[in-house]
Structure 1
């Protein structure tokens, strides 16, 4: 005896690949389906609709299939209200709690669909009510769950809406079709990215730059510093290494002991990074070193001078670290999360670990640009679920100066 459940797909489900993906999920998981209704959108703006009857051999198999379909945007056609259960203790969620994707999500409460605020992947959904009794929902990481929080459990009353692939090339973001290739025309792609940044700023949006030390080593420091100074970077997310090498370049003219202009290795240059950390600690921190005139150039200098917030998230391999480096992992995650929720466009520039950390906190709708010389790094970052992302395989020391040139030429 088989069991069944109806699910619906809405939107540009054909050219986005959503329908094909759902068909594959059902068959790969041993189920079967029947298309009960199918309406094809006949223009670029008209959406398509499909209603499927999904069948499986037993309730557990059906539940597994419906769960996977749900993660890909297929929602039950007969939704009930979401099931809420109280958290039994601090940092403990009820069994069977709903674990979020990074896609826009709605929760059905009192027969109404309520959008989930600050959506990000791998979180629980908490539902509360305001003073007038109206429900609202938001995501919460597991370590922030408090006893008694009303947590969404199961799959009922949850609607996931994956962003769809752009259907045309209109607007500055029309070129963002996902995927990665080192054979794309670099000049054209960088010009499009510059246009996207300019459009974001014109609309009052915020640009977050996530940067690795290679940016300093490759000689792109001054161009990024100018982007900060000219208002094209509103937030900076980095590790201890980036900040140290940026400051080292100011104090000693080297980055990790190498002169980034002559490529020479000065005598005792290998000690410059630890000397830099020592001098900044002696001064009382980055901002105090800048105020005292010890540091007067670079990315960190421009951030301080132009009130651009930065997060320096530490790791177990950090030297020092600098006083501003956040060494508590949970505290660093929360600081990164706050930046990610504020950002409208993210530049991930030659850093895998910090980009993954930021990417984990981003909604799939946030426009994202990933640049690295290693194709595997770019692919891994794009695979984290954003449909509004473009990847570019190139030297970061080439990319940042060209990006700055395009932005300043456009003004």
Structure 2
């Protein structure tokens, strides 16, 4: 059966509740980075705002943001802005209801058929090690094939576990080279471990459980070598890196975003140590993303999940953003739902096994 994206339908704005609703209240920002009181905080779901009598869809609704409206007649639009990026003169939507009574409407049924309803209760609806994930895997394979065939934008969040195993590294490398990945987010050590393996055939000094195992000697040698060349790209182009997903990213022109942490002792040249700058760069990709897969990196997963909407608008068409979170810990995959990102499909499994399964399904 051919995979098709679910069709989106807007609310019926001919209903009296929408016709009789007031325009959304707008209040100007008086100081950069400070929102007016009673601002409307957005969610991951589609949200509409009544501006000059027109219901306008927010194209990138996401967590921890506010809505800035342009009420110029004939040019009505809304932009989604982080609080720190607010500028004096921006007109922020004011209101704490979501039922159209203040000109604000949150729409959770857009991808359901008109006659469908969502269950309010389901036994064992949470995800655990006992859950069968076969259908989720099959759907994911279909989604990734569809993305590749239709120029989708697939973003991966990669945890360190994937850099520690030979087969998972090579599986991820193949997925990148076969065109299934358009961007990668990870930390410095994940990228450095992958490069260490490509340079020295060790990870954390380990090769075949020899006496040199669990040392950081080759890790730091890898980082220093990249810094000597001036960039990871230059290091890869020197021919010394034999394999790995960072090498594949460089050679396939797939961007990778390395966000630094307070614990980083030494970063690769591309490591972004300013957290706001890292957020901005990650968000440029999240805005374009149509499918996101977050593997064994809980902090990156939560951060990225909260900055990614449950839907996006491509060529004036509203479509879902498919979101998957993968981790061996039930706590990790459920944490995203606890934070409010309710649209992620969680698979409780070893991330190394997961990426190998995806590689086998798509590349064999």
TM-score strictly above 0.5: yes
Q: CA, structure 1 residues 255+382, in 2 after alignment: closer, same or farther (shift >3 Å)?
A: farther
Match of 1:118 in 2: 60
| 8 Å Cα contact 2:328/2:348 also seen in 1 | yes
Report deviation, 1:390.
1.4
Q: CA, structure 1 residues 77+128, in 2 after alignment: closer, same or farther (shift >3 Å)?
A: closer
Question: 2 CA distance for matches of 1:388 and 1:178?
Answer: 13
Match of 1:203 in 2: 150
Match of 1:363, SS?
A: coil
Q: Indicate yes or no: 2:244 matched with 1:302.
A: no
| 8 Å Cα contact 2:157/2:294 also seen in 1 | yes
Question: 2 CA distance for matches of 1:122 and 1:403?
Answer: 32
Report deviation, 1:387.
4.6
Match of 2:204 in 1: 256
Report deviation, 1:191.
3.3
Question: 2 CA distance for matches of 1:293 and 1:240?
Answer: 21
Q: Indicate yes or no: 2:343 matched with 1:395.
A: no
> TM-score of the superposition, structure 2-length normalised?
0.83
Q: Indicate yes or no: 2:184 matched with 1:243.
A: no
Deviations 1:197-248 (A, max 9, x none): 1122223211110111111123311110110011011111111111111111
> TM-score of the superposition, structure 1-length normalised?
0.74
Report deviation, 1:360.
1.1
Report deviation, 1:103.
1.1
* Greater length-normalized contact order (CA 8 Å, ≥ 6 residues apart): 2
Report deviation, 1:142.
1.0
Report deviation, 1:389.
2.5
Q: Indicate yes or no: 2:362 matched with 1:407.
A: yes
Match of 2:278 in 1: 332
Which is richer in strand? 1
Report deviation, 1:381.
2.0
Match of 1:319, SS?
A: coil
Question: 2 CA distance for matches of 1:188 and 1:147?
Answer: 49
Aligned residues: 327
| 8 Å Cα contact 2:194/2:245 also seen in 1 | yes
Question: 2 CA distance for matches of 1:390 and 1:203?
Answer: 22
Q: What RMSD in Å do the two structures reach over aligned CA positions?
A: 2.6
Question: 2 CA distance for matches of 1:239 and 1:306?
Answer: 20
| 8 Å Cα contact 2:155/2:181 also seen in 1 | yes
Q: Which of 280, 292, 303 pairs up with 1:346?
A: 292
Report deviation, 1:386.
4.1
Q: Which of 192, 203, 206 pairs up with 2:139?
A: 192
Report deviation, 1:372.
0.6
Aligned ranges for residues 44-123 of structure 1 at < 5 Å?
78-123=20-65
Gaps of 5+ in 1: 1-44, 52-74, 168-176
Aligned ranges for residues 277-288 of structure 1 at < 5 Å?
277-288=223-234
| 8 Å Cα contact 2:205/2:217 also seen in 1 | yes
Q: Indicate yes or no: 2:335 matched with 1:380.
A: yes
| 8 Å Cα contact 1:195/1:407 also seen in 2 | no
Question: 1 CA distance for matches of 2:212 and 2:256?
Answer: 30
Q: CA, structure 1 residues 138+148, in 2 after alignment: closer, same or farther (shift >3 Å)?
A: same
Question: 2 CA distance for matches of 1:310 and 1:98?
Answer: 33
Question: 2 CA distance for matches of 1:228 and 1:186?
Answer: 24
Q: CA, structure 1 residues 299+178, in 2 after alignment: closer, same or farther (shift >3 Å)?
A: farther
Gaps of 5+ in 2: 1-8, 97-101, 114-123, 312-320
Match of 2:162 in 1: 215
Q: CA, structure 1 residues 163+258, in 2 after alignment: closer, same or farther (shift >3 Å)?
A: farther
